[in-house]
Structure 1
Amino acid sequence: MNFRNPVRRALVAALGALTVLGASSLHAQEIKERNLRFAFSLAKEHPLGVGAQKFADAVAQKSGGKMKVTLFPNAVLGSDPQNLSAVRGGTLDFTSMATGLVASIDKRFMVFDLPFLFNDAKEAYAIADGPVGKGLLDDLSAHGVIGLGIWDLGFRNMTNSKRPITKAEDLQGLKIRVIASPIFIDLFTTLGANPVPMTFGEVYGALESKAIDGQDNPVAVIESAKFAEVQKYLSLTRHVYTGMPFMMSKKTWDSMSDAERNVIRAAAEEAKQEERKVTAAKEGQSVETLKKSMQVNEVSPAEVARLREKVQPVTDKFSKEVGDATFQQVSAELARLRTASK
């Protein structure tokens, strides 16, 4: 073809433009108008709520406004177990909750809940984003769930209305709300407390009525849930790290085109990074805010070491339930990370 001919050049340009338009039109056809629902137990102002909004915004932007995600915070559609059941059944599209609750369908998720396992969030992210986390998320498909990453709730600390927790003995006899996970029940039993399994939406009322003495959660949750109104003492124990798997209904996923799935995956990755960044920034701010209305104490390194030693039987027991392969994989990766950072 003689490209010096202006008519032919125009024809080639026109054909090229039609090809591009055809491809973009095809892409647009692959993305349908969808109204999707994302329910979770925490407040919209919590870092997880901020991450959820980032996800909704990214989905809208990447789909050209065709796919809309509506958020339902504060457990308005049901408790975490109810949301998980709804996602598995296809009546809810997205949810996020603690690994200890996801362990109800795959015990290996309990590996994240082993007490004093991680020294910092960087270690937790390495496990969550590495072969262990990816393998666990991929295997959720057998349970009707698509795993889209593990978000960050943070390290858990203790609040109560009776006394500061400065040593293990201070937990004796306290009625402490725990998530409905065997590892949390055993952990607080071992520490001499009386664990009370309870959904998150019930906690404020139970603290207010003195049905329970205290609870454990990361400081951003304690702040956003307004627990300072009904709790006097906050003790910074950082005893368990809590990851928050972000999950989608496999039924919804299976109904989507590749283009729609690409939108979801890309938006989920952006939201995870944003949520983690907000969580890290919020932790220090929340402690300072809570100091204005609560008595806050650090637990000394020596007492943390005692706590760690006291709960070692819990780690030994549940590492077996998690499975030797998963536990050894996590232990080996943490050892590698710690050696590399020295």
Structure 2
Amino acid sequence: MKKKLSMLLCMLLVVTLLAACGQKSPAPAAGEDVTLEEFEPVKYRLAHVVNENDSFHISAVKFKELVEERTGGKVEIEVHPNATLGDERTLLEGMQMGTVDMGIITNGPIANFVPQVAVFELPFLFSSHEEVYGVLDGDIGKEILKKMEDVNLKGLAFAERGFRNLTNSKKPVATPDDMKGLRIRVMENPVYIDTFQALGANTVPMAWTETLTALQQGTIDGQENPVVVIHSFKLDETQKHLSLSRHTYSPATIMMSLNAFNKLPADIQEIIERSAQEAAEHARAINIESEEILLKELQERGMEITEVDTAVFQEAVQSVYDKYRGQYGEYMDKIQEQLNK
């Protein structure tokens, strides 16, 4: 009996070993030490809140093309413009939770999650694109992108919203005195609120998705945005006056859910970061080339364009620098040091 039982156990062991030898190893999972060739294809949704004529969409499409080409289609990106997946705060929270994969987000709303990014938007901090890009693409920019990981976001590269200008439906604005009493929409960002209050405006913080309706209904008198936004959203239809204040430079961030990024193998992570930087630089170049053309078209469509007294504006916002020195002093000093080199 014992001999028969022993033989039966031996046979079971042989069958088990044969079955094990015939099984295939499971496919490598995302995040494991795998190569691009071994990686299982994945599809991501990239969202932004503006239309297809905007520089955000230009960045998004270029980013999609580069990633899909360099990964041989292993990473596919669907672009969702026009706030179809929610406003910018919703997109940021979605990336934190993993319900949204990627986004291109204006700097203002990001400051509610990563306060340090607001330093870039202090009024009249930068005087040229060259100054801006040297800071954003250098060590200071990389350090602040890294801080986004503390709130479960992965900052990939700084695209841009650009130098911002004031529009309104009431009167030309050339000095801060002209702004008194105007109801101006600003982003939900304390630096913007304080800047425009220092200039004498009545600030109305609100999401961009609500702003167009407010302008049409006359519940606000004006807003501030780069020329590309003013043109692409046809703000000349509700705003007669454009002041070339260039009062602040607004970056935007091409970003991703940190959880989704961390699941990718190292070679795909590198492709995504490199492609984001190139997409950002591509859209920046188009913005610079097109601004003069867009201004001319706005003027032809009936918008009155006014130059401003920059020195008087700078003096009026000194209180903003005084207020935020305690919060952003380290980065204010680093930026000024780099600009003065």
| TM-score (norm: length of structure 1) | 0.87
In structure 2, the partner of 1:332 is 337
1:144 partner letter:
N
What secondary structure, in the 3-state scheme, does the structure 1 residue paired with 2:156 have? strand
Is the 1:31–1:63 contact (alpha carbons within 8 Å) kept by the matching residues of 2?
no
Alignment of 1:114-263 (within 5 A): 114-263=122-271
**Distance in 1 between the 2:36 and 2:107 partners?**
36
Question: How many Å separate the matches in 2 of 1:295 and 1:260?
Answer: 46
Larger radius of gyration: 2
Shift of 1:121: 1.0
Aligned position for 1:320: 326
Aligned residues, how many?
Answer: 308
Gaps of 5+ in 1: 1-25, 337-342
Q: Deviations over 1:173-202 (max 9, x none)?
A: 011000000111111111111110111111
1:334 and 1:112 map into 2 onto residues whose CA distance is 13
Distance 1:41 1:260 in 2: 26
1:28 CA displacement:
4.2
The Cα shift of 1:89 comes to: 1.2
How far the C-alpha of 1:280 sits from its partner, in A, is 1.0
Alignment of 1:59-138 (within 5 A): 59-138=67-146
Residues 37-93 of structure 1, C-alpha deviations (whole Å, 9 max, x = no match): 111112121122111100011111011112111111111111111111111111111
CA contact (8 A) 2:164 2:250 kept: yes
Alpha-carbon separation, structure 1, partners of 2:271 and 2:152: 20
Deviation at 1:294, TM superposition (A): 3.4
Residue pair 1:38, 1:72 contacting (<8 A) in 2 also? yes
Q: Is the 8 A contact 2:51 2:81 kept in 1?
A: yes
Match among 268, 277, 280 for residue 272 of structure 1: 280
1:202-260 deviations in whole A, cap 9, x for unaligned? 11111000010000000001111121111111111100100112111001011111122
Residue pair 1:234, 1:294 contacting (<8 A) in 2 also: no
CA RMSD of aligned residues (A): 1.3
52, 56, 59: which one pairs with 1:44?
52
The answer on whether the counterparts of 1:166 and 1:297 sit within 8 Å (CA) in structure 2 is no
Unaligned runs of 5+ in 2: 1-33
Query: What is the alpha-carbon distance in structure 1 between the residues aligned to residue 282 and residue 158 of structure 2?
Result: 12
**Alignment correspondent of 2:16:** none
% identity of equivalent residues: 34
* Alpha-carbon offset, residue 98 of structure 1: 2.2
Q: Which amino acid aligns with 1:150?
A: F
